[in-house]
Amino acid sequence: MTVSPAVPKSWYLPSKPHKFCPGCGHGIVLKALGEVIDELNIQDKTIFGCDIGCSLLSWNFFNCDSTQTHHGRTTPVMVGIKRSRPELVTIGYMGDGGGYSIGSQHLLNAAVRNEKVTLILVNNTNYGMTGGQMAPTTLPGQKTETTPYGRDTDVTGYPTKGPEFLNALTQDDAYIARATVSNYRQLKRFIKNALRNQIEGHGFSFVEVLSTCPTNWRTNAQQTLHFLEDEMEKYFPVGELKNPLGKGDK
């Protein structure tokens, strides 16, 4: 007898099994997001917008209304939707390239304007969909297709610390956090807080999620976890940088 794993009610079953590579962290993030959508009972009013890159593979992941945009432009599309229909819950889903590189001006300015959207940015330190090029988040010395000898910080600078810069730009009503797929319960809690912060009308809500990309990292299971927990989490500290929901909710 085979037993199907429990899946969130808000998942769109015809699109399963999903298309992410084995060992990819996207599935974990989207499972947490699905459970939160169920728990907050927002399936009917959620608009899920996805960027271009591996995050695009989440396009019909949920049985919620969704829209595809352009690389880096998910943020302004979600802003346009949210400003038009404040009763909707808008979730922008993007990678580190879309959020921190080509779409950084949108991310920065949405934060400054305290746009009441929730953005989830998956940081796997490279451009996965296009074959593993250097991303704004590639660690110093890390080898990618465009840094074959390792990222040289003299040439390309240091990795972008998104939550930290967004924290500096926002006021107290924004929610800013960094989670990791290695800590599922915390990840889910942060995503839930980020959505509650939008639903309760506080303001801009952002979660960066440290994630894995064994395909492009060319790592086995053990090496993948090691890179995530020992390398990435050392450079990118995990935790809530700003939470307006009050201590009791943390």
Partner 1 sequence: MQATIGESKKAFMTGNEIVTWAALAAGAEVMFGYPITPQNEVMHYWTRLAPKYGREFLQTEDEISAGFTVCGAVQAGKKAFTATAGPGNVLMQEPFGMAEAMRLPLVAIIQQRGGPSSGTVVYSQQEVTLTTFGGNGEGNRMVYSTATHQEIFDYVIKGFNVAWKYRFPTFILGDGYQAKMREPLTIYEPQDRGIEMVSPYPLIGKAGSIGVDREAEHLCNIYSLEEELYDVVLQHAEDYERIAPEIIEYEEKECEDADILIISHGVVSRAADDAVKALRAQGIKAGYFRPITLRPFPQQQLRDAIAKSGAKKMLVAESAYGQLYRLIRQEIYGETIPIEGLFMPGVGIIDYDIMNKVKSIL
Q: If you ran DSSP here, which 8-state letter would residue 147 be given?
A: B
Judged by beta carbon, residue 72 or residue 159, the one nearer partner 1 is 72
Q: If you ran DSSP here, which 8-state letter would residue 21 be given?
A: P
16, two tokens = 């399963």
Judged by beta carbon, residue 92 or residue 136, the one nearer partner 1 is 92
Q: Dihedral angle at the C-alpha atoms of 198, 30, 250, 244, nearest 10 degrees? A: -20
Contact 8, 191 (CB under 8 A): no
Whole-number Å distance between alpha carbons of 91 and 113: 17
Closest by alpha carbon to 173, among 218, 205, 207? 205
Binding site for partner 1 (CB under 8 A): 12, 43-45, 47, 49, 52, 56, 59-60, 62-70, 73, 75-85, 88, 105-106, 108-109
Judged by beta carbon, residue 20 or residue 236, the one nearer partner 1 is 20
* Closest distance to partner 1 from the beta carbon of 207 (Å): 21
* Closest distance to partner 1 from the beta carbon of 105 (Å): 5
* Closest distance to partner 1 from the beta carbon of 160 (Å): 18
* Closest distance to partner 1 from the beta carbon of 101 (Å): 14
Whole-number Å distance between alpha carbons of 33 and 37: 6
Judged by beta carbon, residue 109 or residue 183, the one nearer partner 1 is 109
* Closest distance to partner 1 from the beta carbon of 44 (Å): 5
Judged by beta carbon, residue 60 or residue 183, the one nearer partner 1 is 60
- As a whole number of Å, the end-to-end CA separation of the chain is 40
Contact 204, 174 (CB under 8 A): yes
